[in-house]
A and B are shown apart, each in its own frame.
Chain A
């Protein structure tokens, strides 16, 4: 069964709104989670590393104020796309790692900004 739950799976909203995506680890504690973005027919690109109880580490070129990450508990990380615009439309996917195992991914969120 799934070990990482991501919600929602699909979002369509108007330009200018903010969208929150949740990533939950099921039955294990994840001090670190990762957020990736995938444009159509492209690879997964790491956006940021989410650290429980501390600030996220963002990759070069990713706007911190645009993509807010909160990792307030050991089982939940959230990604908020603030004031979303059409160019933010993409597939966002999170992952978490259980030591000694490969990374487990959520099912992803398809974000469409109209």
Chain B
């Protein structure tokens, strides 16, 4: 079974500052993928960044980076230079790789980020 834990229900950050959203996971799968999605109040799910369990380097996508620590089973999202438009819910998710029949994502409970001017 897979489990994602996001311990921060809500976070505040000042505009232009960096913020780290925590995510820890548990899985018995040897090969897995970790994802971060952003969900604004309108509801759509916006893909931000992906990290494969076999990737040695941390993933980066523009202002987003993923601090992947495999031994600690953590995959924290770092947002640099926060913008007002970053205010949203953020979900960490995972999926087993190379396993047929289990391709759906398992989501954490989410963190609501509010960027303050």
Contact = CB atoms under 8 A, between A and B. Distances in A.
A44 B91 contact: yes
A67 interface: no
Which of under 10, 10 to 19, 20 to 34, or 35 or more describes the interface residues of B?
A: 10 to 19
B50 A108 contact: no
A43 B108 contact: yes
A104 to B, nearest CB: 8
A42 interface: yes
Interface in A24-81: 32, 34, 42-46, 49, 57
Interface residues of A, number: 21
Contacts of B95: 103
B35 interface: yes
Interface of A is mostly: strand
A43 B109 contact: yes
A107 B43 contact: yes
B44 A108 contact: yes
Most chain B C-beta atoms within 10 Å of own C-beta, residue among A57, A97, A102, A107: A102
Contact of B45 (A42, A93, A97): A93
B105 interface: yes
Contacts of A34: 103-105
Contacts of B104: 34, 46, 49
B109 A42 contact: yes
A98 to B, nearest CB: 12
Nearest to B92: A43
Contacts of A32: 103
B47 interface: yes
From A45, A104, A108, residue with most partner B Cβ within 10 Å: A108
Interface of A: 32, 34, 42-46, 49, 57, 91, 93, 95, 97, 102-108, 110
Among all A-B residue pairs, the 9 with the closest Cβ atoms: A105-B45, A108-B43, A107-B44, A43-B107, A44-B107, A102-B47, A46-B104, A43-B109, A34-B104
13 contacts: A32-B103, A34-B103, A43-B91, A43-B108, A44-B105, A46-B105, A91-B43, A95-B105, A103-B47, A105-B37, A107-B42, A107-B43, A107-B44
